[in-house]
Every structure is written in structure tokens, then in C-alpha cells.
Structure 1
């Protein structure tokens, strides 16, 4: 997998235009995030939409049952530091938790109810964060297609929840380019992008390097690793996991691809335990690094342009 994910199918470009047209008539945005990667599953496009229209937002950290509860609480506090933002963590297994989304929408748009009008909401989220399941739970019936593959929803629809709230569903849209390479790996690890857009081994190496530092006990317990046999490098650790799981090729060599698939699938389905792949303070540093790198690239580009200009002028003489 390259350092940045670029995955912007035609239907996502169309969805972006449709959202921009409808958004001025919306009272509250509902953004569904993956509780394991609250920053990386935020769509910068949605932030752009909000800045243009100054709309309040309910940030829903879905799949909280798969995430580290302590980290989830930290993220809720972090997200709510921004004005006009309310955040809550849910699992779609709990209907009462899902319905709390509507309570927050009412708090953010009290004037609509006072006027006896429906609160107009728009639900957004990147692919595979569970948006369609949330919609079906809120509606009390199947109105949105669900599936484990990203980008199941392809067109916009309006749903009257019959409780004073109208919900506009949107296709799951990724942004044109994921600038933070760490976010790209996290999106791949949690299944937000299709597996064809990633290299399992690269993603597994990134993932295990983080997990052995952040959740060493979970990794040791799951893969039956003794304290004295935990390797120091990610490749040695993946080989140890491969041997434990019998992922062997001819000659006793470890099949790293198979071992990587096991790790990624067990992360996704929660078998490894409750894991959060990023922390607020980590993201702050990563964004600083991305900004520095962008500045350096801009300087290099300007330098090359100036060199070309000088060569051109020299050749003209």
C-alpha cells in the first residue's frame, strides 16, 4: 500500500455535490465515526461543509464495544471541546444507545421543535462505520442497505422518523486523498477501505508495531507469547504469530500474508480485545508532522521551479 490512500469513485464525487446542495436546509449533522479511530474516520470534507454552513453536529462513536472504553471517554471530551459539537459512544446492539442520538439532535436544534417543525438532520460517515445499521434502528424498519463491504449506500434518501425528526441519508464518502499516512493504515486495518486497496502485510506491520506498545498484554495473551519470547521488531513478532497459528510454507517458512490476515481479522472482529488505534495527543503530533512535510514539499517544488526558470533564461542567452 502506498503512503497515502487515494480512493474516490465516481459515485462519491456525485454524492459530495448533492450534499453541498442539500446542506443549507439541514438543522443538525450526524457524523458517524469508528470509536477505534475517531480522528482517522472523521471526514475532512464534512468539516469543510460545516465551516461553510456553521451547522451543529452530533459525533457518534459507533462500535464502542470494540474500542478501549477509557480512550473512548477521552475522545468524547476531546471532540466536545469544539463549539457546536456533541459526542456519544454507542453500539448498534443497544437500541437505547442509538436512540440517544435523537435526544442530542433535539438539544442542538431546540427552536425547530418550539415552532412545531421537524428537525432536519443529515447523517454522514465514511464507508463501513455502521451508518446504515444506525438508520434502520432509528427508523424501526429496514430502509437502508447494510453490508460488511465499504460503500454499500450509493444514493441519498430522506426518511421521516415520525418523531419530529427527518433524516437525510448520504452515501459513505471518503475524501479524495488521505494525507496522514498513519490514518491511511488505520482505515485499512479497521476495514474502511476495500481490501484490494491495501497490502495486508504492510498494514499488519503498522498495526502490530502500535499494538505491542499500546496493548502488550492483549497481544501476549491472544497469541500465547511468553514474556521472554516477545520479539523486538514487527517482522519477528508477525513471524512468531504465524508460527503459533501454523501459517507455514514449505521448509517451515512463515507465510506472512496468512499471519497478517489473521491479525487484521481478529482486530476487526474484536477477538484481540477492546482496542483503540489512536489517541488525541498522538494525532496532534502526527498533524504537525504532516504540516512540516507539506511545507518541505512546497519548498522543494518552488526550488525546482526556480531552477527551471534559471536554466531557461540561461539557454535563451
Structure 2
């Protein structure tokens, strides 16, 4: 699944961030704890340069806690990065983000100056809810859909920290097809921009390998079928997604699966592991190199046809 989604406000936000970032002390990047790699924007790494960064794995209550700890350890291997897992249902955890900010740049507080922070993240990772919790009032618009925040705003938290909010930005193209599916499964991409059944097939295949008992328990299955199509049919049958002639409505079954994944009804699940990523990135590089090779070959063939026709 290839996602290309770069609305005008996102392009504008990227330019504005680049202009403001030299005056920022600490970057806060909010990630989805269920997909820490796929929800990590590679553009932010280049924008932040060498500034300290806190990777906040939000929605930890929806993610597998053991895997979340693996991700924290993995992320903190990067120079200048500290990571923490939070849930917006626990305000105390959210306020600890500011404690981390102050510890990262103690010289600002020693000088009696505010710590200047910028909070960033892709759409629908819960960034706006975190901001409202930190501010103690409704400042940022929230919504269970991507691309709610459309403009930057600067918020004085009155606790020695000034927070700059940014619109949720995606990079121009998600090259890793696995990341595309995971972003779609967790709701970072508008439902209108994806094929529900394809995303559900991808998701259920992964869940069958990593969390088979969750699927059995939730959908009353004694054993899991051998392939994704049969498994989706079994889920649809369990949920009464029947059409005329006893056929299974796969689209309806897909809606149910993805809704229950996003809401946490399926339990605490993480859709990617740190040790999965290197092989995926290698596959992306190979595919990109092959595409360039094919383009060169096509160009050469076109040149030969042109020369032949000129004779």
C-alpha cells in the first residue's frame, strides 16, 4: 500500500517549522505506541538537526507493553533522543513530558528563561489532546480523525515552558508499504484514502502470527484458518456479516476488525517490532534501485527507437 498524502497546509507547515526551529530548545515528537517506526516522520529528524528530542509513545494503553519497552530502548540508541510511553487518560504521565524538557536544557531554567519546545507528530497520534492536558484548558482542536490541526500556535504553559504546536504532517510519500498499511490500520490516514478490505487482510495476517489467541477469543474461533481470506470470512461469520445466499460481507467484517483494533477492544496490540524494520527498509531500497534501473532501460529503449526512426 503506497500512501501519497501531502495537502497544501502540510507543505506550508513544513516550511514554517524550518523557519522557527532555530529558536527551539527541545523537540517533542509524538508517536503512536502501536506503530512507533511507521508513525515517526523522517522529515522531523532532518528538521530538528542536533536539538534534543523526546519521543513520546502515546496510546500506550492500546499497545503491547512488552513491545513498547523494546521500542523505548531502541529509540534511545539515537543520539540526543530520550523516549517515554504515555496515555492521555493519565494526566500525570503527560505532565512528566515537561519535566523531561526542563532536564534536557537545565541552562535555560538556570538563566531564568522559558524552555522553548515544539511538539510535532503525524496526524491522529493524540498530539492535540496532549497539548490540552499540558495547558489545562482547551487550546488545540481534537478529533478522532487525521489532519485536524491546520496552523501553528504558541502556548505559554505558565510553568517555565513555552510550547509551539504544529499541524500534523506526513512526508510526501510513505515508501515502505508495510508502514502504509499500519498507518491506515491505526487511523492515521483518512478512511477515504484506503481500501478497507486490503488493510484488514494485511492486519489480520499479522495478528494471526503475533496474537493468535486474541483473535480466537474475540471472534469465538477454535482454530485460525490457514489464510487471510478465510480468516476474514470467519470473523465476518462470527459477527453476522452475511449477505444474500449466505456469502460473507468482507467489507463489513473489515470495518469491524479495524474498529476493534483502533478502540482497543482486541486488547493491547503492537503492529511492528524493532527487529522487523531493517529487512523492510532493505526491501524498499532494492525496490527503489530496481525502479531506477527500469527507468534507465526504458529511456535507452526509447532513444534507440528514436535513432532508428531518424534513419
CA distance in 2, matches of 1:25, 1:306: 49
110-119 vs 279-288, greater mean Cα deviation: 110-119
> 1:155 aligns to what?
151
Distance in 2 of aligned mates of 1:314 and 1:261:
55
Question: In structure 1, how many angstroms separate the alpha carbons of the residues matched to 2:99 and 2:159?
Answer: 11
Q: Secondary structure at the match of 1:83?
A: coil
For residue 312 of structure 1, report the CA deviation from its aligned partner: 2.7
Displacement of 1:315 after TM fit? 3.2
Tell me which residue corresponds to 1:216: 212
- After the TM superposition, list the runs of 4 or more consecutive aligned residues in structure 1 that deviate by more than 6 angstroms: none
State TM-score, norm by structure 2: 0.98
Give the structure 2 partner of residue 102 of structure 1. Answer: 98
Which shows bigger deviation, 15-24 or 71-80? 15-24
Q: Choose which of 288, 292, 300 in structure 2 pairs with 1:306.
A: 300
Q: Does 1:164 align with 2:165?
A: no
The residue aligned with 2:14 is 16
Cα deviation for residue 17 of structure 1 reads: 1.0
The answer to whether 1:274 aligns with 2:268 is: yes
Q: Report the alpha carbon displacement of residue 181 of structure 1 after superposing the two structures with TM.
A: 0.7
What is the TM-score of this pair, normalised by structure 1?
A: 0.96
- CA deviations on 1:251-289 (whole Å, 9 max, x unpaired) are 110000110000000000000010000001111110010
Residue 138 of structure 2, aligned match among 134, 142, 156: 142
Q: How far is the alpha carbon of 1:153 from its aligned partner?
A: 0.7
State the number of aligned residues: 311
**How many angstroms does 1:235 deviate by?**
0.3
Is 1:128 equivalent to 2:89 in the alignment?
no
Superposed counterparts of 1:246-265, under 5 Å: 246-265=240-259
Tell me the secondary structure at the aligned position of residue 27 of structure 2. Answer: strand
Structure 2 unaligned regions, length at least 5: none
- Does 2:263 align with 1:288? no
Cα offsets for 1:64-114 (capped at 9, x unmatched): 000000000000000000010000000011111101111111122122112
Cα distance in 2 between the residues matched to 1:130 and 1:232: 36
Mapped to 2, the partners of 1:206 and 1:20 lie a distance apart of 36
Counterpart Cα distance in 1 of 2:249 and 2:200: 13
Equivalent residue for 1:116?
A: 112
The more displaced of 304-313 and 155-164 is 304-313
Distance 2:171 2:97 in 1: 25
> For residues 225 and 311 of structure 1, what CA distance do their matches in structure 2 show?
60
Distance in 2, matches of 1:26 and 1:305, equals 46
* Residue aligned with 2:82, SS: strand
Shift of 1:220: 0.5
- Alignment RMSD (CA, Å): 0.9
Tell me which of 169, 188, 193 is aligned to 1:197: 193
Q: Residues of 2 paired with 1:177 and 1:110: CA distance?
A: 38
Choose the corresponding residue for 1:29, options 24, 27, 30.
27
**SS of match in other structure, 1:100:** helix
Q: Deviations over 1:128-173 (max 9, x none)?
A: 1000000011111111111111111111000001111100000111
Aligned to 1:73: 69
User: Who is 1:50 aligned against?
Assistant: 48
2:179 corresponding residue in structure 1: 183
- The Cα shift of 1:10 comes to 1.1
Distance 1:107 1:274 in 2: 31
